Amino acid sequence: MTSHAEMLVAFLSGNAAVGPAGESSKWWLDAGVQGRLHLTPQQVQALDDIFTEAGGREPTLMLWRMYQTLGSAQREQFAQMLRLARANS
């Protein structure tokens, strides 16, 4: 099973679509990720909606739409999380 941190790294590095995306790939539902990124309930819902609408198709478009859901400060925090996750892998 892929951890939320691994999915986050895959998402941030653009390598998320290596296989079928299952429930375990919903990194935005992880309380730790929500806290670090200060995701609002509306953003969490939007990310979930984007994931559901994609239905496993067009992963690049799905990831781009998810990225656009984040504000600039959240994107910076995302980048910091990526650096930490890469350093620990």
pLDDT for 36-88, tens place per residue?
A: 889 999 999 999 999 899 887 777 788 788 888 999 898 888 777 767 766 76
For the chain, the domain total comes to 1
Task: Please check whether residue 20 lies inside any domain of the structure.
Answer: no
pLDDT in tens, 3-15: 555 556 556 555 4
Answer yes or no: are the C-beta atoms of 52 and 65 closer than 8 Å.
no
Cα-Cα-Cα-Cα dihedral of 26, 67, 5, 32, to 10°?
Answer: -80
Task: Please check whether residue 72 lies inside any domain of the structure.
Answer: yes
Domain that holds residue 67: 4-14+25-87
Task: Please check whether residue 74 lies inside any domain of the structure.
Answer: yes
Task: Please check whether residue 31 lies inside any domain of the structure.
Answer: yes
Task: Please check whether residue 19 lies inside any domain of the structure.
Answer: no
Degrees (nearest 5) of the Cα angle 21, 13, 19? 25
Give the closest residue to 42 by CA, choosing from 71, 16, 76, 22. Answer: 71
